A and B are shown apart, each in its own frame.
Chain A
Amino acid sequence: MDLGYLSVQLFNGLVNGAFYALLSLGLAIIFGVLGVVNFAHGAVYMLGAFAAYLLLQQVGIGFWPALLLAPLGVALLGVIVERLLLRRVYGLDPLYGFLLTYGLTLFIQDAMRLRFGIQGQPYPTPTELSASVSLGVVGYPVYRLFVIAFSIAMCAAVWFLIERTRLGMVVRAATERGELTRALGIDVDRWVTAVFAFGIALAALAGVLAAPMRNVAPLMGSELIILTFAVVVIGGMGSIVGAVAAGFLIGALASLGAVWSPALENVIVFALMAVVLLVRPAGLFGAREAT
């Protein structure tokens, strides 16, 4: 097995990792600030892809504007859902948020299937990125390299926002010392909605990135969400760095592992999770535990 081939497979792994990273990042942020495990994150990813498809189909808006508009649109939907439904379960056991978002997932996925059918819609690769780059033996799609680069940039931007800006400070304060922050007169609830919307936007963004490469279909996120859970267990929830690092790491490891033994591909991530649970129950970068 030559190194060139392996390294190209590594790139494939990083592409998958990019999706894990973006999705777990959104999941971790939402959990960190709202205390809700958003089961519907996979459905949001799907909505992002469909938003890109609809923008192209109905309004003729292409990939590049869709990168901004689709997440905005889906985030808006997220705000409505948060205000109407989610906020009713904030004080409760996280179980209820989990179940509520599970119900939302069933609802959204079936509603989309009703409207669009189960098979999927076509979405083209943007022409600027449809070339291939020669990586040794094979030609590798430029679009995939773009996905890796763009995701890393996005994750870095989010990290910067959270760790280095005043807004990030407020968000962190709201997460860790909610009552005290409120007592100091900071309107935490206002930020809660915005942060939720942001987490949703990240998932939707992942969906837009996926649309040229994956089948845009109502169930496209339904298995992915389980994988994402495994990733956050491995990375440790409530840790931004953990989510991103774990995402890319697992993507790469799973891909390389699959080269070695294709039968293992589905199981690798869960096996990794078992190992982490044995060795470091709080996760690789884990900080906080849920109550």
Chain B
Amino acid sequence: MRRRDLAFLALGIVVALALPRVLYSALALRILLWALFAVSVDLLLGYGGMLSFGHAAFWGGGGYAAALLAKTFELPFPLAALGGIACAMLLAAPIGYLAIRRRGIYLAMVTLAFAQMLFYVANEWRGLTGGENGVQGVPKILPGLSVGRTADFYYAALPLVLVGLFVAYRIVHSPFGHVLVSIRDNEARAQALGYPTQRYKLIAFVLSGGIAGLAGSLYAIGNSFASLDLLHWTTSGSAVLMTVLGGMGTLWGGAVGAAIVLLLEDSLSSVTEAPGVVTGAILIAIVLGFRRGLLPEAGRAIEWVALRRRGG
């Protein structure tokens, strides 16, 4: 790892540890898990060049699976999360397979539609999912420790989140990741070089879905319930918004985006009567002005300042 990466890593860990103290623990937990979710979206979007506007299917699929496992079998939450990851990947495989038959914006629309289908199925299957009421009363279990309080759960879940982030990092900085980027840049060339591009794209899709499933599992258990919101397309939209806001292709941009969006959302309702107007305006402003996203723009600003100071 480069020195700069290590520095960022240290900074990130410090922030992650301090977050529940600075904000209230429920908000800190939400930021932590949405950050992981956004990172999974960026893995696919920034590095794979595939916009999934239906990632809520994996976040929610993982969430419901973990919630049901934790509640029915009273599993410790890491095991339940494992089940959630598995479920998310099982969903990502067929959806990804069908989605990658198209490209670009079509792929986005296909993922959106499938996620919506899953939403309606969950809504129908009331016996399993509790329908509108959701799966309530999900226990937080860790043998030997009491993790019922949100602050305690936050620190208990943090290692798992770090593992998820690490996995994303390793995927990107690996031969697989490099091939993925080359496919993003020029699929025909990659094919000409002999790479089975569809297989790479599918694997990326499933891995990304798995990470989203991990985030969703911890979210459902952390909240003590899984509800239909987890699967709604606006949830997918929020994750994409966070990724774009923070910067596509930066991997950590999503985390920054998540923090900003959630903090805004938290304070917006007491400041304005129309949160949708503000959110929409922000998204428009980003697309028009800060297309690269905040992290790269901030990076550029820092470089610019540094250059000025050096150059005089």
Q: B228 an interface residue at 8 Å Cβ cutoff?
A: no
Bound-complex Cα distance A291 to B184 (A)? 12
- A114 touching B277, Cβ below 8 Å: yes
Beyond A114-B273, A233-B113, A266-B120, is A98–B108 a contact (Cβ under 8 Å)? Answer: yes
Which B residue's beta carbon lies closest to that of A236?
Answer: B106
CA distance A86 to B283 in the complex (A): 13
Q: In the bound complex, how far is the Cα of B116 from the Cα of A210, in angstroms?
A: 24
Do the beta carbons of B98 and A277 come within 8 Å of each other? yes
In the complex, what's the smallest C-beta–C-beta distance from A284 to chain B, in angstroms? 14
Q: How far is the CA of A277 from the CA of B99 in the complex (A)?
A: 8
Partner of B284, one of A92, A95, A100, A274: A100
- Say which residue of A100, A267, A277 sits within 8 Å of B102 (CB atoms): A277
Residue B287 contacts which of A103, A113, A273, A290 (CB distance < 8 angstroms)?
Answer: A103
A263 at the interface (CB under 8 A from B): yes
Interface centre among A232, A237, A263, A277 (most CB of B within 10 A): A277
Asked whether B284 lies within 8 Å of A103 as measured between CB atoms, the reply is yes
Closest CB of chain B to A280's CB: distance in Å? 10
| Contact residues of B between 113 and 143, Cβ < 8 Å to A | 113-114, 116-117, 120-121, 123-124
The answer to whether B148 has its CB under 8 Å from any CB of chain A is no
Query: In the assembled complex, how far is the CB of residue A28 from the closest CB belonging to chain B, in whole angstroms?
Result: 13
Quick one: which of A240-291 are within 8 Å of B by CB? 263, 266-267, 270-271, 273-274, 277-278, 281, 289-291
Contact assessment for B273 and A290 in the assembled complex, using a CB-CB cutoff below 8 Å = no
- How far, in angstroms, from A277 to B103 measured CA to CA in the complex? 12
Does B288 lie within 8 Å of A85, measured CB to CB? yes
- From residue A171, how far is it (CB to closest CB) to chain B in Å? 20
Q: Is A143 an interface residue (CB 8 A)?
A: no
Question: Nearest-CB distance from A99 to chain B (Å)?
Answer: 5
Interface of B is mostly: helix
**CA A211 to CA B274, docked complex, whole Å:** 25
Task: For A271, list chain B residues within 8 Å (CB).
Answer: 117
Contact call A270/B277, Cβ cutoff below 8 A: no
Evaluate whether A110 and B274 lie within 8 angstroms (CB atoms) in the complex, with A103-B281, A230-B113, A281-B102 already known: yes
* Chain A window 117-132, contacts with chain B (Cβ cutoff 8 Å), 1 for yes, 0 for no: 0000000000000000
The answer to whether A277 touches B110 (Cβ under 8 A) is: yes
- Min Cβ gap B169→A in Å is 24
Are B283 and A229 closer than 8 Å at their CB atoms?
no
Interface contact A291-B237, CB-CB below 8 Å:
no
Query: Residue A274 contacts which of B105, B114, B288 (CB distance < 8 angstroms)?
Result: B114
Give Cα distance in the complex from A158 to B106, angstroms: 24
> Does B196 touch A at the CB level, under 8 Å?
no
Question: Which B residues are in CB contact (< 8 Å) with A102?
Answer: 237, 283
> Which residue of the partner chain A has the closest CB to B282?
A103
Q: State whether B108 touches A95 (Cβ < 8 A).
A: yes
Dominant secondary structure at the A interface = helix
Interface residues of A in 30-58 (CB under 8 A from B): 37
- Selected contact of B101 from candidates A92, A105, A281, CB within 8 Å: A281
CB distance from A147 to the nearest CB of B (A): 25
Contact partners of B51 in chain A: CB under 8 A:
95, 98
Residues of chain B with a CB closer than 8 A to A73's CB: none
A156 to B98, alpha carbons, bound, how many Å? 33
Q: Across the interface, do A291 and B120 meet the contact criterion of CB distance under 8 Å?
A: no
How distant is B232 from chain A, measured CB to nearest CB, in Å?
A: 10
- Report if A96 contacts B (CB, 8 A): yes
CA distance A99 to B41 in the complex (A): 15
A37 to B275, CA, bound (A): 24
Query: Which residues of B have CB within 8 Å of A109?
Result: 276
A254 and B240 CA atoms in complex are apart in Å by: 30
A116 close to B (CB within 8 Å): no
User: Are the C-beta atoms of B104 and A107 separated by less than 8 Å?
Assistant: no
Please name the residue on chain B nearest to A265 by beta carbon. Answer: B120
Closest Cβ–Cβ distance, residue B261 to chain A (whole Å):
12
Indicate whether A226 sits within 8 Å of B112 (C-beta atoms), given known contacts A107-B280, A270-B117, A277-B98. Answer: yes
A sample of 23 cross-chain residue pairs with beta-carbon separation below 8 angstroms, ordered by A number, consists of A95-B104, A98-B51, A99-B240, A99-B241, A103-B281, A103-B286, A104-B280, A106-B279, A109-B276, A110-B280, A111-B274, A113-B274, A114-B274, A226-B112, A226-B113, A267-B121, A270-B113, A270-B114, A271-B117, A274-B117, A277-B102, A281-B102, A290-B104
Binding site for A on B (CB under 8 A): 51, 53, 98, 101-106, 108-110, 112-114, 116-117, 120-121, 123-124, 233, 237, 240-241, 244, 273-277, 279-284, 286-288, 291
Q: Which A residues have a C-beta under 8 Å from some C-beta of B? A: 37, 85, 88-89, 92-96, 98-100, 102-111, 113-114, 226, 229-230, 232-233, 237, 263, 266-267, 270-271, 273-274, 277-278, 281, 289-291
Apart from A85-B284, A98-B108, A266-B123, 12 more pairs, CB < 8 Å = A99-B240, A99-B241, A100-B288, A102-B237, A103-B282, A103-B284, A104-B284, A110-B280, A113-B274, A229-B113, A289-B106, A291-B104
